[in-house]
């Protein structure tokens, strides 16, 4: 693992469920060599974890502010954590 590897735990609020947000997040993360996961929460938010190079993780966080074309993002909360060695990027159910 590279020294600049970082982990961001992200919560996205707004109209982010039922608008292809998780699948778009998965595709965007894979395009940036980000590892982690994304899932819907019962309260209507989307939760995600991104692990990768600091620059790539920051790009993903910025991407979350727009998300999929049909999404209407109201807020993105980010908590930084120690990397846990995620492998691949998946949608969790």
Pick the CATH number of 5-85 from 3.40.1160.10, 3.30.70.100, 3.40.50.450, 3.40.50.10860: 3.30.70.100
The active-site residue, picked from 22, 26, 30, 31, is 22
Segment 31-90, tens digit of pLDDT: 999 999 999 999 999 999 999 999 999 999 999 999 999 999 999 999 999 999 999 999
The active-site residue, picked from 5, 15, 32, 40, is 40
Q: Give the single-character DSSP code of 4.
A: T
Does this model's pTM top 0.85? My answer is yes
Label the pairing between strands 89-91 and 35-40.
parallel
**Is residue 47 a contact partner of residue 81, using CB atoms and an 8 Å limit?**
no
What residue spans define the domains of the chain? 5-85
Known active-site residue 40: yes
From CA 78, how far away is CA 48, in angstroms rounded?
A: 10
Q: How confident is the model at residue 1 (pLDDT cuts 50, 70, 90)?
A: very low
């Amino acid at each position: 693992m590279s020294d600049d590897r970082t982990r961001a735990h992200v919560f996205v609020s707004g109209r982010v469920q039922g608008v292809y947000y998780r699948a778009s997040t998965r595709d965007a993360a894979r395009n940036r060599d980000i590892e982690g996961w994304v899932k819907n929460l019962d309260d209507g938010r989307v939760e995600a974890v991104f692990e990768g190079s600091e620059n790539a993780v920051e790009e993903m966080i910025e991407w979350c502010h727009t998300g999929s074309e049909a999404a209407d993002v109201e807020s993105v909360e980010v908590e930084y954590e120690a990397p846990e060695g995620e492998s691949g990027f998946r949608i969790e159910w």
